[in-house]
Amino acid sequence: MKFGGTSVADAERIKRVARRIVDKREQGHQVVAVLSARGKTTDELIAMAEEVSADPDPREMDMLLSSGERISCALCAIAINDLGHRAISLTGSQAGIVTDESHTKALILDVRADRIRTALEEDHIVLVAGFQGVSENARNVTTLGRGGSDTSAVAVAAALGAEVCEIYTDVAGVYSADPRIVPEARKLPAVSFEEMLEMAASGAGVLQLRSVEYARNHGVRIHCRSSFDDEPGTVVLAEAETMEQPLITAVTHTTAEARVTLTGVPDAPGAAARIFDALAGANVNVDMIVQNEPVSAGGQAEISFTVLRDDLRVARAALEPLSGEAFTDMTTHEDMGKVSIVGAGMRSHPGVAAKVFGVLAQEGVNIDMISTSPIKISCVIARDRVELAVQALHSAFELAGEGTVSEEEPFKAGRAS
């Protein structure tokens, strides 16, 4: 059972989560719960670091950020003990979550779960701090990137051979669009790994991308559901197991993109490799890449790509030393977003891209860059047009469910928890 930040935001909610975990235990299950930091704690910790430094050391950032999840787990263990059950909280490191050395975006390499297993055998409920691990060589505390508690939960579930990895969150499951932006979005009863990977990669933050990759690679069953009621949510499963294959499953978006354009790139083998090697060396993930060679530019190419806005400073610093040889000019645009449509049925239906571009044109939304996969079409657009574009696409592809499903009302009277 994994509970996100909103679900443990205050004392009342911690107690409710404790109750819910205990109920599961009393139904006869062994339970490991992975918790996130409370409410906006992670954002606040980042802001605290930025108050003391413009460029905080990544190792120390991880020491700082990992504390949020420890607080949630210890508090929840205390609450569970008060309910007459025995609980033990563990840091990621104590739980045996071993990662690579890349601070603030570490990858899980292994989960050495003996300590969790022993605690379960001793009839404990085990609480594991999400979002963190310990690096294999330097033995430093690491964190797994924003939203990383989902991945902690899936990795622990895989290591223990759990029946299911339940991701409890503040919406009732995975929807056909972010319900905060499209209130009439439909809750999807099931979604395939392939579609969920594309959705997570294109901004559906309800599950961290790596958690979905990890679940697919290790055969973990994910059930994403509301922490505020008992309704079934969304199960993520193999494509062969899904019943339907709609043309379009969801519209996703991000508002956290930045675009970098390099002009005067030599039109010769190796030019792109030099640029993207430098970015990889700085641990910057590049999303969309477009290269062209304007007829007027006399044998010089132009490369544009997008990165997360948070990575822009590091990307710029990595590229500046190459100025003059790998490119002549670098311009950046910070206020970019991206809107995507995802659907396995797209594979066999022509005309979807044309419809997407038509809808955006009708709304007067200018498309900056386009990329596609067999089951996804993404358009980079101005950040302030994203909301409008998501709503227009959701309605043009008729993704709304029958009846309006709105965002969950936390702890509505009369609801089971």
Out of 149, 226, 304, 378, point to the residue binding ligand ASP (CB under 6 A): 149
Q: Is residue 133 close enough to count as binding ligand ASP by CB under 6 A?
A: no
Please choose, out of 17-25, 35-43, 188-196, 368-376, the segment that lies near ligand ASP by the rule CB under 6 A. Answer: 35-43
With respect to ligand ASP, which residue has the nearer C-beta, 42 or 135?
42
Out of 92, 96, 130, 410, point to the residue binding ligand ASP (CB under 6 A): 130
Q: Crossing angle, helix 58-82 and helix 11-26, to 10 degrees? A: 60
Question: Do the beta carbons of residue 76 and residue 17 sit within 8 Å?
Answer: yes
Residue nearest to ligand ASP (CB): 149
Q: Is residue 77 close enough to count as binding ligand ADP by CB under 6 A?
A: no
Neighbours of 353 (CB within 10 A): 14
Please choose, out of 48-56, 204-212, 289-297, 398-406, the segment that lies near ligand ADP by the rule CB under 6 A. Answer: 204-212
Please choose, out of 73-81, 142-150, 220-228, 349-357, the segment that lies near ligand ASP by the rule CB under 6 A. Answer: 142-150
What burial letters (b/e) apply to 121-151, b meaning 16+ CB within 10 Å?
A: eeebbbbbbbbbbbbeeeebbbbbbbbbbbb
Closest separation between CB of residue 408 and Mg ion, Å? Answer: 15
Interface map 34-53 toward ligand ADP (x if CB under 6 A): --x-----------------
- Residue of 414, 411, 413 lying closest to 16 (CA atoms): 411
Question: Do the beta carbons of residue 371 and residue 291 sit within 8 Å?
Answer: no
Interface map 235-274 toward ligand ADP (x if CB under 6 A): ---------------x------------------------
Out of 1, 5, 16, 312, point to the residue binding ligand ASP (CB under 6 A): 5
Q: Is residue 72 close enough to count as binding ligand ASP by CB under 6 A?
A: no
Q: Is residue 70 close enough to count as binding ligand ASP by CB under 6 A?
A: no
Residue keyed to tokens 């609980």 = 87
Q: Is residue 146 close enough to count as binding ligand ASP by CB under 6 A?
A: yes
Q: Is residue 410 close enough to count as binding ligand ADP by CB under 6 A?
A: no
Q: Find how far residue 199's CA is from the centre of its chain.
A: 9
Q: Is residue 130 close enough to count as binding ligand ADP by CB under 6 A?
A: no
| Helix residue ranges per DSSP H, 165-301 | 193-201, 209-218, 271-281
Beta strand 222-226 pairing with 165-169: parallel
CB-based contacts of 243, cutoff 8 Å, min separation 6 = 190
Question: Do the beta carbons of residue 339 and residue 379 sit within 8 Å?
Answer: yes
Question: Do the beta carbons of residue 256 and residue 339 sit within 8 Å?
Answer: no
Out of 7, 68, 368, 399, point to the residue binding ligand ASP (CB under 6 A): 68
With respect to ligand ASP, which residue has the nearer C-beta, 310 or 329?
310
Please choose, out of 92-100, 166-174, 310-318, 396-404, the segment that lies near ligand ADP by the rule CB under 6 A. Answer: 166-174
Task: Round to whole Å and give the CA distance between 197 and 237.
Answer: 11
Q: Which one of ligand ADP, Mg ion, ligand ASP, none is in contact with 72 (Cβ closer than 5 to 8 A by kind)?
A: none
Task: Round to whole Å and give the CA distance between 231 and 186.
Answer: 14
Residue 237 DSSP SS3 = strand
Residues that bind ligand ADP (CB under 6 A): 4-7, 36, 147, 169-171, 174-175, 177-180, 204-206, 250
Binding positions for ligand ASP, rule: CB under 6 A:
4-5, 36-37, 42, 68, 130-131, 146-150
